[in-house]
Structure formats: structure tokens, C-alpha cells
Amino acid sequence: MADAVEVHGLTKTYGTLTAVGGIDFTVPEGKVFAFLGPNGAGKTTTVEILEGLRRRTGGDVRVLGLDPWEDGRELHAKVGVIPQEFRFFEKIHPVEAIEYYAALFGTRVDAHALLRRVELEDKARARFETLSGGQKQKLGLALSLANDPTICFLDEPTTGLDPQARRAIWQVIRDLRSEGRTVFLTTHYLEEAQILADQVAIIDHGRIIARGTPDEIIAQHGRPPRLRVQASPGMAPYLREALGVTATVAHNYVEIPLPTKHEALRILGALEASGVPWEGFATVTDTLEDVFVQLVGHMDDGVLKSEVAR
Ligand SMILES: Nc1ncnc2c1ncn2[C@@H]1O[C@H](COP(=O)(O)OP(=O)(O)OP(=O)(O)O)[C@@H](O)[C@H]1O
Ligand SMILES: [Mg+2]
């Protein structure tokens, strides 16, 4: 499968600040790619370089085989964009805005169908300045689709949306993918990335610190699955003694590592034999958010600080 985006050794400096410090990644065609990282990590800088809006300092970048800075005109016809904190002319209404965009690209578009798609049809004739934050975001998404793009760059498309509106946007993203389009997404909602993304890259201080599918990243950087038992703290020393496992206490839970499902039977047997009161149990695994919180802010020159400390 071809790559829609190829990034090799990309750097961007603003004066003395290195916003992007030499990153490499690829985005396969027709997939959803989530680019994650804390505030100021370098996401928007990277996205805008890929869109041809900012000039890179160094490295090589290709989007749909084109150099975004040199071949911007050709590329812009194939790219859909929602900038972070999307704004538009105050007096324009959504139908006009979409038709205006389509005219810029010399394409025809059914503005009402597009507004239905993003669940904004009831505001088809409302002035931009009267739209709520979430409605403006939805219009941004509709506009990014007005030129029937091959790849969409969505920089925090769901920030500030209510849960239902976020799910509506998720569905649009899934539909874009099933139509064979590539989606390049940034978001601070890790749950959203875990649900939607085929591939993820996490950037921190301008460096990529993790890459892969959500499952690969969790398997590589997360803790092993655990059995979480609602029990009084006395259960932990009992299990350590009886089973020779590391049992930890958090809130009113005791957690025991569960490397294989067969371990569960042994642990449950020990719980029953303990004589210590216990209630329910569940198996828990790390989420992408757990791993993100663990990784971000703990890297020093590409090496985990905990590894340096060892
Ligand atoms: N035009 C600019 N001039 C100077 N510094 C900039 C400029 N744009 C971004 N920066 C700096 O570059 C770094 C990366 O910013 P960027 O906007 O790429 O972060 P981000 O990952 O998108 O963050 P957020 O999650 O807050 O949107 C930040 O330290 C920021 O202050
Ligand atoms: Mg940003």
C-alpha cells in the first residue's frame, strides 16, 4: 500500500526554539492516523507544514507524492483542512460558505447534503457569528470536505464539542475512511484516538516518542493486564504470600498482574481460600490514555527518564 504522507528528518525552528526536532513517520493511504502530544509538542506546526502553509526548516516531506511547499497549488486541490480554532467571515452563513469554498476549488457540491452529514442542516442559513463553538467546528469539517479531498487534515476537530456532536464527527471520520480517504487527525481526546485510529504517533517536545497501532503502543509501553479485586487491603499481603505475585493496593482495590488468563483461576481460588472479605472483580488493561500519561513528560533526549535512572 502506498503512503499518503512521508516525513523524513523533519525539523522546524522558530528563532532559537526547536518546535520539531527531526521526526520520521509515514501515513498509509486510506487510513486514519492520529498525531498526539501535549500542548506545544509540535503537532500544528507539523500539520501546517504538511498542508503547505508553513515552510519547513529541514528534512523531506511528501503528501500524495508532492512537496507541500513547492507543489502547494496542485496539492491544495486534493487536501481538506480544518485549522485549529477554525474561524470564518462573521456574516456568512453555512450554505454560502460551502459554495464559496467549492467555487474557490472550481468544484460543485451539494451544500445541504454536506451540512446533513455533519448534522448542521438546521443552521444552514444562520450567520457564522451566531453559531456556537461546536457548530463552527462542524462547519469547518463540512468546508474541509467541500473539494472532495483525497486526504483530510483535521487539527483538533472535536475540541469543545458535546459528547453527541463528537460522536457525529467520529462517524464522519469513519465514513471518510470507508470511502478510501486518508485522515490525519490531531486530538487531545485519547479515547477518540484509540477508537478511530489505525496508526498513532505520539510527539513530545518535537520528538516522536511512540508509534504504531493503538494496541501495539499499549502492548509496548503499557502495563500487563491486571485482575482488579474489590477487597480490603489485607488481601494484598495474603496473595503475595500465597501466590508469590505482586499485589498492589489502590483505593479499595487490590490489583494482581494477569499475564495469562489461566492465572485468573489460581488467583480466584486464592481469593476464596483467603477468608478475607472480597466483592467483585474485573480484568483491566491500560488504555492509550494511561500509556500517554505515563510516556509524556518522561522522555529526555529520546530516552525514558526512568531508564536513565536505573
Ligand atoms: N509562529 C510561531 N512562532 C514562534 N513559535 C511558534 C509559532 N508557532 C508555534 N510556535 C511554538 O512552537 C511550539 C509548537 O507549537 P504547536 O502549535 O506546533 O504545538 P501543538 O502540538 O499544536 O500544541 P497544542 O496542542 O497546544 O495545539 C510551541 O512551543 C509554540 O509556542
Ligand atoms: Mg495545535
From atom 1 of ligand 1, which residue's Cα is the shortest distance away? 14
Q: Are residues 27 and 167 in the same domain?
A: yes
Q: Are residues 52 and 200 in the same domain?
A: yes
Percent of the chain with pLDDT over 90: 77
Q: Are residues 189 and 88 in the same domain?
A: yes
Quick check: is 298 in a domain?
no
Instruction: Please tell me the predicted confidence (pLDDT) of residue 28.
Output: 97
Nearest ligand atom owner, CA of 83: 2
pLDDT digit string, tens, across residues 104-161: 888 889 999 999 988 899 999 999 999 988 889 899 999 999 999 999 999 999 998 8
Quick check: is 310 in a domain?
no
Quick check: is 308 in a domain?
no
Q: Which atom belonging to ligand 1 lies closest to the Cα atom of 37?
A: 21
41 Cβ inside 6 Å of ligand 1: yes
Instruction: Please tell me the predicted confidence (pLDDT) of residue 95.
Output: 96
Q: Kindly state the average pLDDT of the residues 38-43.
A: 96
14 Cβ inside 6 Å of ligand 1: yes
DSSP H helices in the chain: 43-50, 72-76, 94-105, 111-117, 133-144, 163-178, 190-196, 214-221, 235-243, 262-274, 288-295, 305-309
Q: Are residues 11 and 79 in the same domain?
A: yes
Mean pLDDT across the chain: 91
Quick check: is 124 in a domain?
yes
Q: Are residues 87 and 202 in the same domain?
A: yes
Model confidence at 307, pLDDT cuts 50, 70, 90, reads: very low
Q: Are residues 109 and 127 in the same domain?
A: yes
Instruction: Please tell me the predicted confidence (pLDDT) of residue 306.
Output: 45
pLDDT digit string, tens, across residues 198-235: 999 999 999 999 999 999 999 999 988 999 999 988 99
pLDDT digit string, tens, across residues 61-94: 999 999 999 998 899 999 999 877 778 888 999 9
39 Cβ inside 6 Å of ligand 1: yes
Model confidence at 309, pLDDT cuts 50, 70, 90, reads: very low
Q: Are residues 144 and 231 in the same domain?
A: no
Quick check: is 303 in a domain?
no
Of 12, 36, 45, which is best to mutate to test ligand 1, by the most ligand atoms within 8 angstroms of its C-beta? 45
Q: Report CA(205)–ligand 1 centroid distance (Å).
A: 10
Instruction: Please tell me the predicted confidence (pLDDT) of residue 89.
Output: 85
From atom 28 of ligand 1, which residue's Cα is the shortest distance away? 40
As a whole number of angstroms, the distance between CA 137 and CA 123 comes to 13
> How far is C-alpha 172 from the geometric centre of its chain's CA atoms?
15
Q: Are residues 200 and 270 in the same domain?
A: no
From atom 7 of ligand 1, which residue's Cα is the shortest distance away? 14
Beta-carbon contacts of 262 under 8 Å, excluding residues fewer than 6 positions away, are none
Q: Are residues 139 and 280 in the same domain?
A: no
Nearest ligand atom owner, CA of 13: 1
Cell numbers found for residue 46: 507539523
From atom 4 of ligand 1, which residue's Cα is the shortest distance away? 14
> How far is C-alpha 27 from the geometric centre of its chain's CA atoms?
13
For residue 246, pLDDT over 70 is answered with yes
Q: Are residues 201 and 104 in the same domain?
A: yes
Find where cell 462517524 sits. Answer: 171
CATH code at position 275: 3.30.70
For residue 310, pLDDT over 70 is answered with no
Instruction: Please tell me the predicted confidence (pLDDT) of residue 216.
Output: 96
Q: Are residues 161 and 240 in the same domain?
A: no
Hey, is 225 helix, strand or coil? coil
As a whole number of angstroms, the distance between CA 34 and CA 226 comes to 27
Instruction: Please tell me the predicted confidence (pLDDT) of residue 187.
Output: 96
Q: Kindly state the average pLDDT of the residues 93-100.
A: 94
117 Cβ inside 6 Å of ligand 1: no
Number of domains in the chain: 2
Query: Among the three residues 193, 219, 245, which one is the final residue of a domain in this structure?
Result: 219
Instruction: Please tell me the predicted confidence (pLDDT) of residue 61.
Output: 98
Quick check: is 60 in a domain?
yes
Quick check: is 29 in a domain?
yes
Q: Which atom belonging to ligand 1 lies closest to the Cα atom of 12?
A: 12
Nearest ligand atom owner, CA of 296: 1
187 Cβ inside 6 Å of ligand 1: no
Task: Name the range with the highest mean pLDDT among 19-28, 143-152, 220-229, 269-278.
Answer: 19-28
Hey, is 198 helix, strand or coil? coil
- Give the structural domain span for 269: 223-284
SS (H, E, C) 257-282: ECCCCHHHHHHHHHHHHHCCCEEEEE
pLDDT digit string, tens, across residues 184-203: 999 999 999 999 999 999 99
Model confidence at 298, pLDDT cuts 50, 70, 90, reads: low
Quick check: is 144 in a domain?
yes
CATH code at position 40: 3.40.50.300
Q: Are residues 119 and 65 in the same domain?
A: yes
Percent of the chain with pLDDT over 70: 95
CB hemisphere CA count around 192 (13 angstroms): 25
